[in-house]
Amino acid sequence: MKILIINKSLKNGGAAIAAKRLFDALKKHGSDVKMLVEGSADETEDIKCIAHNKAEKRKALFRFALERLYFLPHEKNKSVRYQFSPAKVGVDISKHPWVLEADIIHLHWINHGFLSLGGLQKLFELNKPIVWTMHDMWPFTGGCHYAGICDRFTQGCGHCPMLRFPGKHDLSTRIYQQKKNIWAKARIHAVGCSQWMANLAQKSGLLQGQQITSIPNPINTDIFKPLDKKECRTAFGLPTDKRLLLFGAANINDPRKGMKLLIQALELLNESHPELKDDLELVIFGKSNQEHLNSLPYKWHSIQFLSDTHQIARLYNCADAFVLPSLEDNLPNTVMESLACGVPVVAFNIGGVPQMIRHKETGYLSTANDCEDLAQGIYHILYMSNSVKMLSSAQQFVAENYSNQLIAQQYTDLYTSLVSQSNDKSS
């Protein structure tokens, strides 16, 4: 059984990280798996990119620019520029040798000029079983990646809050209908990384009649594991005698990541517990706004972008707790990574996060958007909880739910079932 994983990137973004981790897990599990991405400098025998030379890289950049330019007249404002993907521009990979030889095509995140709706239609017309891991809501909306409080994706979109001219027949409606026509002729098995995402997908008219399940992302617990905290802090030049709260994301400036709410929560914590001023410090990683950092009421340390997974694991091990103030999230890699390192997580009770955190056992689930409760959660984890017990509980939870072997087996079972169904239909 030949499996082909398809994702826009090999490294950039949470979906890329999750897709590559699944590739590695399947490979270790003994599967015949390959990975096709738009661009990467890390090609191997089993990982290839479409943009493999300067000319193709320029074409990829051009596709990305055209995709954004198409949406520009429609966007409400620039804050939603990358939150909506019309998928009008892309590359046709339906005749790629790896696509043609595959028994299973496994899609992940394919936007920003990689695959267009027309390109997806050509893939679906190959009549191969399609597994689509939903890292956000785009596979079942009229274009947005996260719908927020909007539920129009359940009936056909329209009146989209991200568009400059929302209406009954706006861009989201037209894309939704185009998707519906294409999806109806496909054999899609949609997979939610979280049960929350799978539940949302089941409400959408786009995936009616398609199979939907939930399988989480895997993590390598040989890399992400508890390490000596003092040694890790020394390696990063961080204080060894302070409580360290870690926060980060690929792009902290994304409003969905909740940086403003975190600042408010820390201000409340500072007001209610002024004695922490000389004990608590923050460690921030990811693309950030200097103005936001300067607004933090505690001393902070900014860590440059890290790509080496061993270094990332060491950074988690520097922390006493990780905080995730996201307003909406699927199955965040950061939460999984932190827990695997035995570091408890404080987060809002939103999206797929409750599936990952056991309240007051492996972390603290704060009431959604409640900065006061988030502040209370930070204080509880750092100063009132049993850190040794939490470390053990967090590590055990990850091993039982997200280990490479476990997730690889779940996907292998799914692939086998789909190929068997396909063979039965063709015989």
Contact 159, 168 (CB under 8 A): yes
Q: Does residue 255 sit in the same domain as residue 128?
A: no
Together in a domain, 263 and 277: yes
**How many domains is the chain partitioned into structurally?**
2
pLDDT at residue 346 in the model: 96
Residues 246 and 330 in one domain: yes
CB burial of 140-164 (b: ≥16 within 10 Å; e: otherwise) equals bbbbbbbbeebebbbebbbebebbe
For residue 34, being part of any structural domain is answered with yes
CATH number at residue 75: 3.40.50.2000
Whether 255 and 279 share a structural domain: yes
DSSP 8-state symbol, 37: E
The pLDDT value recorded for residue 274 is 92
- Joined together, the tokens standing for residue 288 give 């950030």
Q: pLDDT value at position 424? A: 63
Q: Looking at residue 379, what is its pLDDT?
A: 95
DSSP assignment string, 149-187: T--GGGTT--S-TTBSS--TTSHHHHHHHHHHHHHTTS-
pLDDT at position 166, please? 94
Domain that holds residue 6: 2-218+404-426
The predicted pLDDT at position 12 comes to 85
Least Cα distance to 85 among 132, 145, 39 occurs for 145
Q: Which residues of 83-99 are buried (b: 16+ CB within 10 A; e: fewer)?
A: bbbbbbbbbebbebebb
259 with 164, same domain? no
* Same domain, yes or no: 73 and 154: yes
What DSSP state is assigned to residue 380?
A: I
* Mean pLDDT by groups of 10 residues along the chain of 427 residues: 95 90 95 92 86 88 94 92 94 96 97 96 95 97 94 94 94 96 93 95 92 95 94 95 89 78 92 92 82 82 85 95 91 93 95 93 94 95 88 91 95 93 66
Does 145 lie in the same domain as 72? yes
> Is 224 part of a structural domain of the chain?
no
Sign for the CA dihedral angle at 28, 29, 30, 31 comes to: negative
Both 17 and 156 in a single domain?
Answer: yes
3-state secondary structure of 260: helix
Separation CA 23–CA 7 (nearest Å): 11
Same domain for 206 and 62: yes
